[in-house]
Structure 1
Amino acid sequence: MNALVVGLGGFIGAASRYYISTLVNKINTSGFPIATLIINILGSFLIGLLTQLLMGLCPDNKKMQLFLTTGILGGFTTFSTFSLETVNLFQDGKVVFGVANVILSVAFCLTGVVLGKMLAKTIASI
């Protein structure tokens, strides 16, 4: 049953990632993988927010946690894509873009988790 819950969430997350990437890539023509960066920042924020909220609201609901974090956000965030795109940037000689992608992804994704947790704590205290 857990695999079904994770799989359903993964479908939702992956489909969301596809649609957001498609939309952003229609606008972005620079060659910088901004869609992946946006998705990873948003996913990091959401995983911080949701894990904090779930700990307070339904700490014993493991299926909900699996569905939202491992499922939806696991399918949504794209660390392997980030890694591939970064390596490709370096291999294509776009060193500045490669370094920028690493720095921006790490800094903003960690910040996203922290901000998500802070927002969840604020919501919980209301």
Structure 2
Amino acid sequence: MYVYLAIFVGGALGASGRFMISLWIEENSVFPYETLLVNLIGCFILTYLSTHPTLMKGIPSAIKVGISTGVIGAFTTFSTFSTETVQLWIDTSQTLALLYVVASLAGGLVLSWLGFFTANNRKGHAK
């Protein structure tokens, strides 16, 4: 039961964070910067938290799921990414659509790697 509550609360926090990012970034832009930003941030945070050797140690599994599935799951927007890619392709520019896909995938992989690297290669940390 606690895991559902953790996901519910985490989802509210993640969705609120996502909304705040969308308010912060100009809405009238042709390119979906806010979706790119939240997906890249989410890639880094999820990988960092899931691979850091001690950060999540001792935290109850319900809280871990609430953070990963709730907060980060609600914060990132892959379905929005897919829809916006199709809309860019059809309505605006195939070049922008391809740029968006490449930036999202390459950026997500790079930031996931960075999350892993920074979580596991701290000064004084022995592998």
TM-score (norm 1): 0.89
Gaps of 5+ in 2: none
Measured at CA, do residues 117 and 59 of structure 1 come closer, stay the same or move farther in structure 2, by a change above 3 Å? farther
Map 1:89-100 to 2 at 5 A.
89-100=88-99
CA shift, 1:112, in A, is 1.1
Structure 1 runs (4+) deviating above 3 angstroms are: none
- Partner residue of 1:23? 24
Secondary structure of the residue that 1:31 maps to in structure 2?
Answer: coil
RMSD: 1.9
**Is 1:56 matched up with 2:54?**
yes
Gaps of 5+ in 1: none
Q: Which has the higher helix share?
A: 1
Secondary structure of the residue that 1:40 maps to in structure 2?
Answer: helix
Measured at CA, do residues 59 and 87 of structure 1 come closer, stay the same or move farther in structure 2, by a change above 3 Å? farther
**Is 1:109 matched up with 2:117?**
no
Identity, % of aligned pairs? 33
- Partner residue of 2:125? 125
* Corresponding letter in the other structure for 1:91: I
CA shift, 1:68, in A, is 1.2
* Counterpart-to-counterpart distance in 2, 1:61 and 1:109: 28
CA shift, 1:91, in A, is 1.3
